[in-house]
Amino acid sequence: MTGYFVRRLLSALVVITGVAALVFVLIHVVPGDPVEVLVGESASAADRDALRRSLGLDAPLGAQLLGYVRSLVSLDLGTSIHSQRPVTELLAERLPATLALAAAALMVSVTLALPLGVVAAARHGSRWDLRAMIFALAGSSVPPFVLGPALVLVFSVGLGWLPVSGREGLASLVLPALTLGMALAAVLARMTRSALLETLAEDYVRTARAKGADERTVLLRHALPNAALPIVTVLGLQLGALLGGAVITETVFAWPGVGQLTVEAVQRRDYPVVQGCVLLVSLAYVVVNTLTDLVYAWLDPRIRLGGGAL
Amino acid sequence: MRGRVALAVLLGWAGLALVGHWLPLAANRVDLAHILAAPGPDTWLGCDDLGRPVWDRLVAGASVSLLVAVPVVGLSLLIGAPLGALSAWWGGAADHVITRLIDIFLAFPGLLLAIALAGTLGPGIDNVVVALAAVGWVGFARLARAQALSVKTRDHVQAALALGVGETRIVFRHLLPLIAAPLTVEATFAVAGAVTAEAGLSFLGLGVQPPTASWGSMIRDGTRYMLVAPHLLLAPGIALALVVLSVNLLGDHLRDRLDVRERASLR
């Protein structure tokens, strides 16, 4: 047990280091001079040099790397070029909105997907099954920047029930959460259906039926808990897609979260902020995935003893 | 039946994208008399906020999305599949390093890495292709590695090895053809992903730059005039959703036909 935990944590550490290195390469090594883009063609050479110095981009690459590592260790992500405020402060300010949106979207997708998947599996091959799968296909095909505006068109512009954008009160959370949760709901419904179909074919389900348990008990007490592992796995993996999707959804609804901050920073060429946002989101994703892995290992001895998960 | 409808939509998309170049289109013609004109007999999808005909821009956008999707998927496949297969073949330290590299790239959720990369490289269609391929190869590498691992112990591979066939030849002639079916299915789904991603980047203003039309930037412009001219939003939105839906349908169809067990990418 401890062995598995240590191995899993070590591999997470390797990935985190790699992520930090890749972000460094992205900002400091990839061709395309940030200074050139920032100041434009008309700037004087002196202006460029000043800016390059203030960003620390005039130093040799090794020194830049050292400074980068030092700033990461001390959790000081630099200062925004645009607003002149510390990047960590900006991130802390935007994080609650993104967390609220992600949690709401997660709730939307689970409440939509679980019943759909269960019904589809229980009535395999029926009209309900077909409907659920059409929903799943449509949900994974309509991107958030199409679904979001379409929902606004119907519920805000047409019916006037919900606000168009912004973050004021619970009502303003509904459409962004629906938009962001839909793609996840689609994947989750598919996974629930196939996992449940698989467990319904198991011997213990036949035993439960043979001893006279009614179909409802069989489905919810015997089959569903055993189908939970693949469903939770997909949920953990898809959390990353959720965080990534938040970038576009937040832009659609002017939701003041980390995603919107990322897009604004990229558009303004505010590299310290871009770096901070990318680091925060990808690290959050790695941490969540590691935690879910550890939780399964704790729940399911097959994983920690099988050694196949690493 | 569903497969045929999907194929028809895709052929229409590809056909328009390819032929659009020679059609008498005026995607960038500003006509102030027709600003936000509703669909009518002259301009059957109406006009946008600069009086440009929406249909013409839709066709131009189709060719942009095809011009991005095909090279992105091609590059991702060419980089990812051999790398994954070689990784599985080599095993040991090399495999370990490549697997970790894959893990690291997978740690960037969704479009995030492409957004940051497109931001650093600057806008433009070539940079969009580079940014999306830099993210896209990972899925193919992971799939190719997993599949190659399961077939590398097959008899014909062992026989080739015993006959003294070189390892490059084994990987490219004996392993990769064997795992072509799941890679084809993955490539189909990747087309849907690339079309969506291009539109997403353009929606964020990081993709194709104006005045060139892209479905993503048309959707972004359309959201500003939702109240007065919803067709600006609906036309590119429906076009995009239809193409992506059709590609996904085709992918499902191919997977069933080629008997590929599971969709390997769960992202």
Residue B218 Cα, gap to closest chain A Cα (Å): 11
Residue B15 Cα, gap to closest chain A Cα (Å): 21
> Which residue in B102, B108, B189, B214 has the most chain A C-beta atoms within 10 A of its own C-beta, making it the best mutation to test that interface?
B108
Q: Which residues of B touch A142 (CB under 8 A)?
A: 241, 244-245
Q: Do B46 and B54 meet the contact criterion of CB atoms below 8 Å apart?
A: yes
Q: Do B198 and B118 meet the contact criterion of CB atoms below 8 Å apart?
A: no
Amino acid of residue B173: R
Q: How large a percentage of chain A has pLDDT more than 70?
A: 91
Q: Do A252 and A148 meet the contact criterion of CB atoms below 8 Å apart?
A: yes
B59-116 pLDDT, tens per residue? 888 888 888 999 999 999 999 999 999 998 888 899 989 998 998 888 887 788 888 8
Residue A234 Cα, gap to closest chain B Cα (Å): 7
> Which residue in A24, A141, A251, A262 has the most chain B C-beta atoms within 10 A of its own C-beta, making it the best mutation to test that interface?
A141
Does residue B267 register a pLDDT over 50? no
Q: Tokens 């802390």 belong to which residue?
A: A92
> Which residue in B203, B234, B253 has the most chain A C-beta atoms within 10 A of its own C-beta, making it the best mutation to test that interface?
B203
Residue B163, classified by CB atoms within 10 Å of its CB into exposed (0-12), middle (13-18) or buried (19+), is exposed
The token duo for A76 is: 């000081």
Nearest CA in chain B to A239: B109
Q: Tokens 């085709």 belong to which residue?
A: B250
CB contact under 8 A, B110 and A11: no
**B227 in contact with A, Cβ within 8 Å:** yes
At B1, the pLDDT band (50, 70, 90 cuts) reads low
Q: Which residues of A touch B216 (CB under 8 A)?
A: 145
At B195, the pLDDT band (50, 70, 90 cuts) reads very high
pLDDT (mean) for B226-239: 83
Among candidate residues B1, B7, B18, the one with its CA nearest the CA of residue B242: B7
CB contact under 8 A, A243 and B109: yes
Q: Distance between CA A58 and CA A52 in Å, rounded?
A: 6
Among candidate residues B51, B48, B55, the one with its CA nearest the CA of residue B20: B55
Q: Which residues of A touch B110 (CB under 8 A)?
A: 240-241, 243-245, 247
At A37, the pLDDT band (50, 70, 90 cuts) reads low
**B237 in contact with A, Cβ within 8 Å:** yes
SS3 A79: strand
CB contact under 8 A, A150 and B115: no
At A288, the pLDDT band (50, 70, 90 cuts) reads confident
SS3 B53: strand
Residue A60 main-chain phi, psi, to 5 deg: -60, 155
Q: What is the pLDDT of residue B51?
A: 67
At B264, the pLDDT band (50, 70, 90 cuts) reads very low
Nearest CA in chain B to A35: B120
**B86 in contact with A, Cβ within 8 Å:** no
Among candidate residues A308, A188, A110, A268, the one with its CA nearest the CA of residue B204: A268
Amino acid of residue A277: C
A42-59 pLDDT, tens per residue? 677 777 777 777 777 777
pLDDT (mean) for A94-115: 89
Q: Distance between CA A199 and CA B96 in Å, rounded?
A: 34
Q: Distance between CA A267 and CA B204 in Å, rounded?
A: 9
The token duo for B3 is: 């497969």
Q: Is the alpha carbon torsion for B147, B150, B153, B159 positive or negative?
A: negative
Q: What is the pLDDT of residue A308?
A: 46
Q: Which residues of A touch B121 (CB under 8 A)?
A: 30-32
**B159 in contact with A, Cβ within 8 Å:** no
Q: Which residues of A touch B249 (CB under 8 A)?
A: 137
Residue B33 Cα, gap to closest chain A Cα (Å): 26
Q: Do B186 and B143 meet the contact criterion of CB atoms below 8 Å apart?
A: yes
Residue A191 Cα, gap to closest chain B Cα (Å): 10
A210-245 pLDDT, tens per residue? 888 788 888 888 788 877 777 877 787 777 778 877
Closest CB from B116, B237, B240 relative to A266: B116
Instruction: Name the least confident of A146-150, A274-278, B29-33.
Output: B29-33
- What's the predicted TM-score (pTM) here? 0.83
The token duo for B253 is: 């169809």
**B97 in contact with A, Cβ within 8 Å:** no
Q: Distance between CA B139 and CA B187 in Å, rounded?
A: 10
The token duo for B242 is: 């239809």
Does residue A309 register a pLDDT over 50? no
Output the CA angle B195-A18-A84, nearest 5 degrees.
80
The stretches of chain A forming alpha helices (DSSP H) are 2-24, 34-39, 45-55, 61-73, 87-122, 127-141, 144-151, 171-200, 203-210, 215-217, 224-252, 258-268, 271-299, 301-306
SS3 A86: strand
Residue A285 Cα, gap to closest chain B Cα (Å): 7
CB contact under 8 A, A14 and B100: yes
Q: Do B98 and B141 meet the contact criterion of CB atoms below 8 Å apart?
A: yes
CB contact under 8 A, A240 and B266: no
Q: Do B29 and B52 meet the contact criterion of CB atoms below 8 Å apart?
A: yes
